[in-house]
Amino acid sequence: MATEVQIKTAAAARASRKLAGVTADIKNKALLAMGEALRKNAKAIIEANATDLEAGEKKGLSRALLDRLALDGPRIQLMIGGLKVVAKLPDPAGEVLSEWKRPNGLKIRKVRVPLGVIGIIYEARPNVTVDSAALCLKSGNAVVLRGGSDAINSNIAITKAITEAAYDAGIPEDSIQLIEDTNRETAQELMRSREHVDVLIPRGGRGLIKAVVETSQVPVIETGEGNCHAYVEKSADLKMASDIVFNAKVSRPSVCNAIETLLVDEEIAGEFLPAAFKRLREAGVEIRGCEKVRRIDPKARKASDSDWGTEFLALILAVKVVSGPDEAIEHIAKHSSKHSEVIITKDKKAAGKFKAKIDSAAVYVNASTRFTDGFEFGFGAEIGISTQKLHARGPMGLPELTSYKYLVDGSGQVR
Amino acid sequence: MATEVQIKTAAAARASRKLAGVTADIKNKALLAMGEALRKNAKAIIEANATDLEAGEKKGLSRALLDRLALDGPRIQLMIGGLKVVAKLPDPAGEVLSEWKRPNGLKIRKVRVPLGVIGIIYEARPNVTVDSAALCLKSGNAVVLRGGSDAINSNIAITKAITEAAYDAGIPEDSIQLIEDTNRETAQELMRSREHVDVLIPRGGRGLIKAVVETSQVPVIETGEGNCHAYVEKSADLKMASDIVFNAKVSRPSVCNAIETLLVDEEIAGEFLPAAFKRLREAGVEIRGCEKVRRIDPKARKASDSDWGTEFLALILAVKVVSGPDEAIEHIAKHSSKHSEVIITKDKKAAGKFKAKIDSAAVYVNASTRFTDGFEFGFGAEIGISTQKLHARGPMGLPELTSYKYLVDGSGQVR
Chain A residues within 8 A of B415 when measuring between CB atoms: 247, 251, 368, 370-371, 376
Q: How many helices (H) and strands (E) does chain B have?
A: 14, 16
Residue A39: which residues within 8 A CB-CB, separation 6 or more?
A76, A80
| Phi–psi pair at B122, nearest 5 degrees | -145, 180
Stretch A353-372: mean pLDDT: 97
Q: What is the pLDDT of residue A344?
A: 98
Ramachandran sector of residue A338 (left: φ over 0; alpha: ψ -120 to 50; beta: rest): left
| pLDDT tens digits along A48-73 | 999 999 999 999 999 989 999 999 99
The answer, for B360 touching chain A at a CB cutoff of 8 Å, is yes
Q: Are A129 and A178 in contact (CB under 8 A)?
A: yes
The beta-carbon neighbor of B389 closest among A100, A198, A237 is A198
Q: Are B381 and B92 in contact (CB under 8 A)?
A: no
Distance of CA B74 to the CA centre of its chain: 23
Torsion sign over Cα B58, B62, B63, B67: negative
Residue A155: which residues within 8 A CB-CB, separation 6 or more?
A126, A129, A145, A147, A178
Amino acid at B131: D
Distance CA A363, CA B42 (A): 45
Distance in Å, alpha carbon of B287 to nearest chain A alpha carbon: 21
Size of interface A-B (CB pairs under 8 A): 200
Q: What is the pLDDT of residue A380?
A: 87
Q: Which is nearest to A169 in space by CA: A265, A29, A284?
A: A29
Chain A residues within 8 A of B404 when measuring between CB atoms: 393
pLDDT at A164 over 90: yes
Chain B residues within 8 A of A243 when measuring between CB atoms: 412, 414
Distance CA A126, CA A68 (A): 8
Chain B residues within 8 A of A191 when measuring between CB atoms: none
Distance CA A287, CA A300 (A): 5
Residue A189: count other Cβ atoms within 10 Å of its Cβ. 18
Task: Give the chain B residue nearest A16 (alpha carbons).
Answer: B359
Are the folds of B4-222+393-409 and B228-371 the same?
A: no
Task: Give the chain A residue nearest B358 (alpha carbons).
Answer: A17
Give, in degrees to the nearest 5, the angle at Cα B149 between A192 and B31: 95
Q: Are B272 and B238 in contact (CB under 8 A)?
A: yes
ipTM of the complex: 0.94
Task: Give the chain A residue nearest B360 (alpha carbons).
Answer: A405
CATH superfamily of this structure's domain B228-371 = Aldehyde Dehydrogenase; Chain A, domain 2 (3.40.309.10)
Distance in Å, alpha carbon of A120 to nearest chain B alpha carbon: 15
Mean residue pLDDT of chain A comes to 96
- Three-state SS string over B185-249 comes to HHHHHHHCCCCCCCEEEEECCHHHHHHHHHHCCCCECCECCCCEEEEECCCCCHHHHHHHHHHHH
The answer, for A166 touching chain B at a CB cutoff of 8 Å, is no
State the best of A117, A257, A339, A415 to mutate against chain B, taking most chain B CBs within 10 Å: A415
Contact A415 B251 (CB under 8 A): yes
Q: Which is nearest to B231 in space by CA: B36, B44, B365?
A: B365
Task: Give the chain B residue nearest A200 (alpha carbons).
Answer: B390
Q: How far apart are the first and last CA of chain B?
A: 46
Task: Say whether A117 sits in a helix, a strand or coil.
Answer: strand
Q: Are A289 and A320 in contact (CB under 8 A)?
A: yes
Chain A residues within 8 A of B414 when measuring between CB atoms: 243-244, 246-248, 251, 367-368, 370
Torsion sign over Cα A108, A114, A116, A120: positive
Confidence band for A309, pLDDT divided at 50, 70 and 90? very high
Task: Give the chain A residue nearest B246 (alpha carbons).
Answer: A414
The tally of CA atoms less than 13 A away on the side-chain side of residue A414 is 18
Distance CA A303, CA A318 (A): 6
Task: Say whether B103 sits in a helix, a strand or coil.
Answer: coil
Contact B361 A405 (CB under 8 A): yes
Q: What is the pLDDT of residue B236?
A: 98
The answer, for A182 touching chain B at a CB cutoff of 8 Å, is no
Q: What is the pLDDT of residue A184?
A: 92
| pLDDT tens digits along A261-304 | 999 999 999 999 999 999 999 999 999 999 999 999 999 999 99
Contact B371 A415 (CB under 8 A): yes
Stretch A127-148: mean pLDDT: 97
Confidence band for A206, pLDDT divided at 50, 70 and 90? confident
Amino acid at B11: A
Chain A residues within 8 A of B222 when measuring between CB atoms: 219
Contact B410 A356 (CB under 8 A): no
Residue A142: which residues within 8 A CB-CB, separation 6 or more?
A12, A13, A15, A16, A19, A116, A117, A118, A136, A174, A175, A176, A177
Distance CA A384, CA A223 (A): 6
Q: What is the pLDDT of residue B301?
A: 97
Residues 240-299 of A with CB under 8 A from B: 240, 243-244, 246-248, 251
Chain A residues within 8 A of B371 when measuring between CB atoms: 106, 408, 410, 413, 415
Distance CA A31, CA A37 (A): 10
Chain B residues within 8 A of A237 when measuring between CB atoms: 412
Q: What is the pLDDT of residue B380?
A: 87
The beta-carbon neighbor of A362 closest among B244, B359, B408 is B408
| Phi–psi pair at A331, nearest 5 degrees | -60, -45
Q: What is the pLDDT of residue A224?
A: 81
Distance in Å, alpha carbon of B41 to nearest chain A alpha carbon: 35
Contact A403 B413 (CB under 8 A): no
Distance in Å, alpha carbon of A405 to nearest chain B alpha carbon: 5
Residue A78: count other Cβ atoms within 10 Å of its Cβ. 13
The answer, for A408 touching chain B at a CB cutoff of 8 Å, is yes
> Model's pTM, two decimal places?
0.93
Distance CA B409, CA B412 (A): 9
State the best of A95, A389, A393, A409 to mutate against chain B, taking most chain B CBs within 10 Å: A389
Residues 104-123 of A with CB under 8 A from B: 106, 108, 113, 115-116
- Distance of CA A219 to CAs A129, A339, B214, B380, B389, Å? 21, 20, 10, 28, 9
- Distance of CA A128 to CAs A62, A159, A166, Å? 19, 11, 17
Task: Say whether B257 sits in a helix, a strand or coil.
Answer: coil
Residue B308: which residues within 8 A CB-CB, separation 6 or more?
B261, B318, B320, B331, B334, B335
| pLDDT tens digits along A236-257 | 999 999 999 999 999 999 899 9
Q: What is the pLDDT of residue B225?
A: 87
Distance in Å, alpha carbon of B270 to nearest chain A alpha carbon: 22
What order of strands is seen across the sheet that includes strand B402-413?
A301-302, A286-289, A316-322, A259-265, A228-232, A340-344, A362-367, B402-413, B107-114, B96-101
| Tens of pLDDT, residue by residue, chain B (415 residues) | 899 999 999 999 999 999 999 999 999 999 999 999 999 999 999 999 999 999 999 999 999 899 999 999 999 999 999 999 999 999 999 999 999 999 999 999 999 999 999 999 999 999 999 999 999 999 999 999 999 999 999 999 999 999 999 999 999 999 999 999 999 999 999 999 999 999 999 998 888 999 999 999 999 999 888 999 999 999 999 999 999 999 999 999 989 999 999 999 999 999 999 999 999 999 999 999 999 999 999 999 999 999 999 999 999 999 999 999 999 999 999 999 999 999 999 999 999 999 999 999 999 999 999 999 999 999 988 999 999 999 999 999 999 999 999 999 999 999 9
Task: Say whether B118 sits in a helix, a strand or coil.
Answer: strand
- Distance of CA B77 to CAs A13, A185, A318, Å? 47, 54, 56
Contact B370 A414 (CB under 8 A): yes
Distance CA A310, CA A261 (A): 9
Give percent of chain A above pLDDT 90: 96
Q: Are B99 and B110 in contact (CB under 8 A)?
A: yes
Topology of the domain covering A4-222+393-409: Aldehyde Dehydrogenase; Chain A, domain 1 (3.40.605)
The answer, for B227 touching chain A at a CB cutoff of 8 Å, is no
Contact A391 B391 (CB under 8 A): yes
Q: Where are the domains of chain B?
A: 4-222+393-409, 228-371
What order of strands is seen across the sheet that includes strand A117-122?
A176-178, A142-146, A117-122, A199-203
Distance CA B164, CA B304 (A): 54
Q: Are strands B96-101 and B107-114 parallel, antiparallel or unpaired?
A: antiparallel
Distance CA A109, CA B352 (A): 13
